[in-house]
Amino acid sequence: MWQVFKQDVQRWVVQESIADPELVTKKVAFRLMRHHMGLRAMFWFRFGQWGIEKGIPGSVGRTMRMLHKGYGLEISPRTPVGGGFYIAHTVGTVIQAKRIGSNCSIVSCVTIGMRNEWAFPILEDNVFIGAGARVLGGITIGEGAVIGANAVVIKDVPPRATAVGIPAKIIHVGGEKSQKFSP
Ligand SMILES: CC(C)(COP(=O)(O)OP(=O)(O)OC[C@H]1O[C@@H](n2cnc3c(N)ncnc32)[C@H](O)[C@@H]1OP(=O)(O)O)[C@@H](O)C(=O)NCCC(=O)NCCS
């Protein structure tokens, strides 16, 4: 659990960036958790995932209730989420995704979930989703893609593309923000 949570902590040393893992000790993690609600929520999410892995009964329900009540965040610890998951503001965010890659960022009040049918989005690595955006249906948001604030995304977004508006349209590929985490 520590290894994956450590990657989450890396996103909070300087918010939204990816800090050098050497900088992240348990003491640093504890200090950042005291300051940032988003990181505390992530701790309980990872704890829930650890509970599932260890077969501890009630891990799913308990984690979901805790995240909902304490942080206004809806996400199941059964959702596969890569390390370095950063949710700036948890309140009002609902996440029902098939899979979320590493180092994805969510700003606030985002909905990720089904559209008309029982199919859920996939977020590849390094995806950024702006405040209030909705990502709906069995679509894939490509690696490094950027979803603008308040966009409603109902089609696949190619890697490193920036999509804005309702319904979301691609405005460019390889913009400044999409390159932020590129190797
Ligand atoms: C999409 C975003 C990342 C900007 O990407 P960018 O590649 O730098 O794009 P630009 O700012 O150059 O804008 C390009 C065009 O898209 C439009 N645009 C940008 N963001 C938009 C949005 N969220 N919705 C609709 N149109 C948008 C701009 O008006 C501009 O249009 P124009 O070419 O007709 O003038 C940014 O606007 C955004 O939405 N960030 C989210 C920030 C956030 O969630 N903040 C909340 C903090 S609590």
Mind listing the pLDDT tens digit for each residue in 4-46? 999 999 999 998 889 999 999 999 999 999 999 999 999 999 9
Rg of the chain's alpha carbons, rounded to an integer?
Answer: 16
Nearest protein Cα to ligand 1, atom 30: 171
- Pocket of ligand 1 contains residue 173 by CB under 6 Å: no
Mind listing the pLDDT tens digit for each residue in 69-112? 999 999 999 999 999 999 999 999 999 999 999 999 999 999 99
H or E element at residue 38: helix 37-53
- Pocket of ligand 1 contains residue 174 by CB under 6 Å: no
Query: Phi/psi of residue 129, each to 5°?
Result: -125, 120
Nearest to 40 by CA among 80, 91, 3: 91
Q: What pLDDT is recorded for position 179?
A: 64
- Pocket of ligand 1 contains residue 146 by CB under 6 Å: yes
Q: Name the residue of 106, 171, 178 whose CB sits within 8 Å of the most ligand 1 atoms, as the mutation to test its pocket.
A: 171
Mind listing the pLDDT tens digit for each residue in 41-60? 999 999 999 999 999 999 99
**pTM of the complete model:** 0.94
Residue in the block written with tokens 């999410």: 45
Between CA 164 and CA 109 the distance in angstroms is 16
Q: What pLDDT is recorded for position 183?
A: 45
The DSSP code for 81 is B
Rounded to the nearest angstrom, the distance between the alpha carbon of 163 and the centre of ligand 1 is 9
Give 69-78's long-range contacts (Cβ < 8 A, gap of 24+): 70/41, 70/44, 71/37, 71/40, 71/41, 71/44, 73/41, 75/45, 77/45, 77/48, 77/49, 77/51, 77/52, 78/52
